Amino acid sequence: MIRLSQSKYSVSFSQWLQILDELNIGAFMVDCRRRVSSMNYSAQSLIGLRESEAVGRPCREVFMGVPCLANCMFKDNSDMADDENEIQIRDDFDEKHLFTRVATPVYDDCRHIVGCLTIIQDQKPIADLIDRIRHEERNVKIILDNLDIGVFTVNHDYYLTFFNKNAEKISGYGRREVLGKPCAAIFKGEAAEGFCMLKETIRDGVTRSSRHGKMITRHGEIIPIHVSYMALRNEKDTIVGGLATFHDLTLVYQLDQAISDRYTFNDMIGKSPAMQRTFEQVHAVASTDATVLIEGQTGTGKDLLAKAIHSDSRRADRQMVKVNCAAIPESLLESEMFGYVRGAFTGADQDKPGRFQEADGGTLFLDEIGDLPLPLQAKLLRVLEEKVFYPLGSRRIMKVDVRIITATNRNLRELVGKQLFREDLYYRLNVFRIELPALKECRLDIPLLIRHIIRRLCAARNDRVIDLSGHAMEILLNYDYPGNIRELENILEHALIICRENLIQQNDFPEYLQHPIERRGNTPAGFSPAEEIDEREREEILRVLRENGWNRRKTAASIGIDRSTLWRKMKKLGLKFQR
């Protein structure tokens, strides 16, 4: 609803049209006689009519074939009303365009209806910046809520005053949680680039844009955004706050990663003490040239960790070459590793460089190193010690500058004891060892991982971000994940394919998770019995509770779960509230 004074009617509406034109949003006004009285440039472009062709004519005649809204304030019994907010309009080339429309009555000071303002928006990505808009107007906020970009506003003291629906979806915050609070919380503190740009914009009124901004979600996930900042002014042209519009660039970021194959520590999710210790180790070793041995179960992210170490090293501008020692036949592994010269064997009609030569100056990642045959282990040891080798069939020595990162899901120390792995090579590789914990050992990270994976999968599918029901989340929190993070990804991808609602339910999961009461022996399939409660989880929840002064709301937010879930866990683990 818009309430305008008759004396200010034309000026105020003109300002509205100008504002909406800046947003590339069409708007037209119908007077109390149901005749078109005004139409902005965007509406003329979208509908394909000039203002002179529409003004003074009945709205039904101008928009022939377009059904009226069900809540039209001028409708009578003969109206064929339509309660859909989406309409199709054909242009001069008979092409269909889908529009979203919002209508609101306009009142004078005596509460008499003097007209109807209709907003129409083409459902294409909004690229133009929003400039000089009166954020206190309720109707403007309704319009902003219907945009497909995130929008928030702040006052002169940088406290959040508006947070639209898409901002809620992207950030994970409900508007009630953030309104009236400092906006620095959704950046990375007051020193963050985004917050500093917003401060500068409010200070000097100059519109700014950041193509590589970052936002912290409610659950602690850092997501890439493209954000623009502009100043908000009052009627006297005085700056009274700021406005930011932002797009979620998760999909673009994923495509860039896939193309460049570069990953950072921000791509690794984890707030549990076990993962924090891992991050500390990685930060310490990444900048060195030390040989790194990564051990962990299948699906724990060893490949991603190796890429993150390389991307944060001084060799990041050179390539990282990966060799899966278990995937290449033993007869071909030597030539793949060290290359060969022409005539080395039948069919070798030209020289071929090996993986060591390809990685010269960069990093060589030897995955599944525990499956490397014993004869090749001796040659690998020489390369590690002397940085030289002979290509197959050559007497010419090759020298390389390569950093070695290895990974395995097997226990190399046990393999050494069984004489399946050379002891001297083991100690040469074990300069800096990082053990990635199994997912069941980091249960506090599961909610954060779930939301991160869902966001990534939904971005790849160009789909809405779907949430989980409380029961579905409870199932995932208690499952043991023998396949670790890779299995969690598969479960969630399966659920997103099956799910047809806004919430993932238990029956959207794979079959083996739909019937948790089925037993294997005396233990429920995939679940830990009550008498075998993970003591480590109890200790970690207790630690977070103490850090937050036993404030359950803050504790639940730190862990990334709902307060009701925290309460159930406290009850299950025997943790009593303390003051």
58 or 88, greater pLDDT:
58
The whole-number pLDDT of residue 133 equals 42
User: Can you tell me the mean pLDDT for 15-21?
Assistant: 70
Of 334-343, 449-458, 461-470, 477-486, minimum mean pLDDT range? 461-470
User: Can you tell me the mean pLDDT for 498-516?
Assistant: 83
548 or 99, greater pLDDT:
548
- Number of domains, the chain: 4
Give me the helix-helix angle, 374-386 and 330-338, nearest 10°: 10
As a whole-number percent, the residues of the chain with pLDDT over 90 amount to: 11
CB 362 within 8 A of CB 318: yes
Decide if 257 is inside a domain. no
The whole-number pLDDT of residue 131 equals 39
Decide if 131 is inside a domain. no
Decide if 564 is inside a domain. yes
Residue 441 has pLDDT above 80, yes or no: yes
Longest dimension (CA), the chain: 99
The whole-number pLDDT of residue 60 equals 77
User: Can you tell me the mean pLDDT for 399-417?
Assistant: 91
Decide if 291 is inside a domain. yes
The whole-number pLDDT of residue 116 equals 82
What SS3 string covers 114-160?
EEEEEEEEECCCCCCCCCCCCCCCHHHHHHHHCCCCEEEEEECCCEE
Last residue of a domain, one of 435, 467, 492: 435
Decide if 95 is inside a domain. yes
Half-sphere exposure of 479 (CA within 13 A, CB side): 25
Looking at the chain, how many residues does it have?
579
* Bridge partners, 82 (sequence order): 69
Q: Verify that 283 and 410 share a domain, yes or no.
A: yes
Q: What's the chain's average pLDDT?
A: 77
User: Can you tell me the mean pLDDT for 29-58?
Assistant: 84
- Which of 13-17, 369-373, 575-579 shows the highest mean pLDDT? 369-373
Q: Verify that 201 and 345 share a domain, yes or no.
A: no
The whole-number pLDDT of residue 525 equals 42
Last residue of a domain, one of 94, 122, 150: 122
22 or 199, greater pLDDT:
199
CB 269 within 8 A of CB 449: yes
Residue 197 has pLDDT above 90, yes or no: no
Domain extent for 386:
267-435
Residue 463 has pLDDT above 50, yes or no: yes
Question: Side chain identity at 47, as an amino acid letter?
Answer: I
As a whole-number percent, the residues of the chain with pLDDT over 70 amount to: 75
Last residue of a domain, one of 248, 279, 298: 248
Residue 427 has pLDDT above 50, yes or no: yes
What SS3 string covers 443-477?
HHHHHHHHHHHHHHHHHHCCCCCCEECHHHHHHHH
Burial of 122 (0-12, 13-18, 19+ CB in 10 A): middle
How far is the C-alpha of 108 from the C-alpha of 115, rounded, in Å? 9
Burial of 191 (0-12, 13-18, 19+ CB in 10 A): exposed
How far is the C-alpha of 77 from the C-alpha of 65, rounded, in Å? 18
- CA angle (210 as vertex; 206, 212 as ends), nearest 5: 170
If you ran DSSP here, which 8-state letter would residue 576 be given? P
- Which of 394-398, 445-449, 490-494 shows the highest mean pLDDT? 490-494
User: Can you tell me the mean pLDDT for 542-570?
Assistant: 76
Task: Determine the 3-state secondary structure of 399 from DSSP.
Answer: strand
pTM of the model: 0.52
Give me the CATH number covering residue 271.
3.40.50.300
Q: Verify that 426 and 475 share a domain, yes or no.
A: no
Decide if 259 is inside a domain. no
Task: Determine the 3-state secondary structure of 252 from DSSP.
Answer: helix
Q: Verify that 275 and 421 share a domain, yes or no.
A: yes
CB 540 within 8 A of CB 272: yes
Decide if 175 is inside a domain. yes
Scanning 387-520, the segments in alpha helix (DSSP H) are 412-417, 423-429, 446-460, 470-478, 484-498, 511-514
491: closest CA among 529, 520, 447, 453? 453
The whole-number pLDDT of residue 321 equals 92
Question: Side chain identity at 18, as an amino acid letter?
Answer: Q
Residue 406 has pLDDT above 90, yes or no: yes
Q: Verify that 181 and 327 share a domain, yes or no.
A: no
CB 162 within 8 A of CB 154: no
Q: Verify that 199 and 241 share a domain, yes or no.
A: yes
362 or 280, greater pLDDT:
362
CB 371 within 8 A of CB 324: no
407 or 395, greater pLDDT:
407
Q: Verify that 282 and 396 share a domain, yes or no.
A: yes
Q: Verify that 309 and 420 share a domain, yes or no.
A: yes
Residue 385 has pLDDT above 60, yes or no: yes
Task: Determine the 3-state secondary structure of 481 from DSSP.
Answer: coil
Q: Verify that 291 and 418 share a domain, yes or no.
A: yes
477: closest CA among 430, 440, 422, 529? 440
Q: Residue 3 CB: number of other CB atoms within 10 A?
A: 13
Q: pLDDT of 136-174, one tens digit each?
A: 455 666 767 777 788 888 988 888 888 888 888 788 788
Task: Name the residue with tokens 């009519």.
Answer: 49
User: Model confidence at 129, in pLDDT bands (50, 70, 90)?
Assistant: very low
How far is the C-alpha of 318 from the C-alpha of 434, rounded, in Å? 23
Q: Residue 16 CB: number of other CB atoms within 10 A?
A: 23
The whole-number pLDDT of residue 52 equals 84
Residue 403 has pLDDT above 90, yes or no: yes
Give me the CATH number covering residue 70.
3.30.450.20
The whole-number pLDDT of residue 533 equals 42
Which helix (H) or strand (E) is 564 found in, with range?
helix 563-573
The whole-number pLDDT of residue 257 equals 47
Q: Verify that 193 and 223 share a domain, yes or no.
A: yes
Q: pLDDT of 77-125, one tens digit each?
A: 444 444 445 666 665 566 666 667 777 777 777 777 788 888 777 654 4
The whole-number pLDDT of residue 491 equals 92
How far from the centroid of its chain's Cα atoms is residue 476's Cα? 20
How far is the C-alpha of 392 from the C-alpha of 351, rounded, in Å? 10
Q: Verify that 541 and 468 share a domain, yes or no.
A: yes
Residue 5 has pLDDT above 50, yes or no: no
Q: How is residue 506 written in tokens?
A: 């238990």
Residue 484 has pLDDT above 50, yes or no: yes
CB 131 within 8 A of CB 239: no
CB 99 within 8 A of CB 120: yes
Q: Residue 266 CB: number of other CB atoms within 10 A?
A: 13
Q: Verify that 42 and 90 share a domain, yes or no.
A: yes
Decide if 505 is inside a domain. yes
How far is the C-alpha of 452 from the C-alpha of 542, rounded, in Å? 25
User: Model confidence at 44, in pLDDT bands (50, 70, 90)?
Assistant: confident
User: Can you tell me the mean pLDDT for 46-73?
Assistant: 73
User: Model confidence at 421, in pLDDT bands (50, 70, 90)?
Assistant: very high
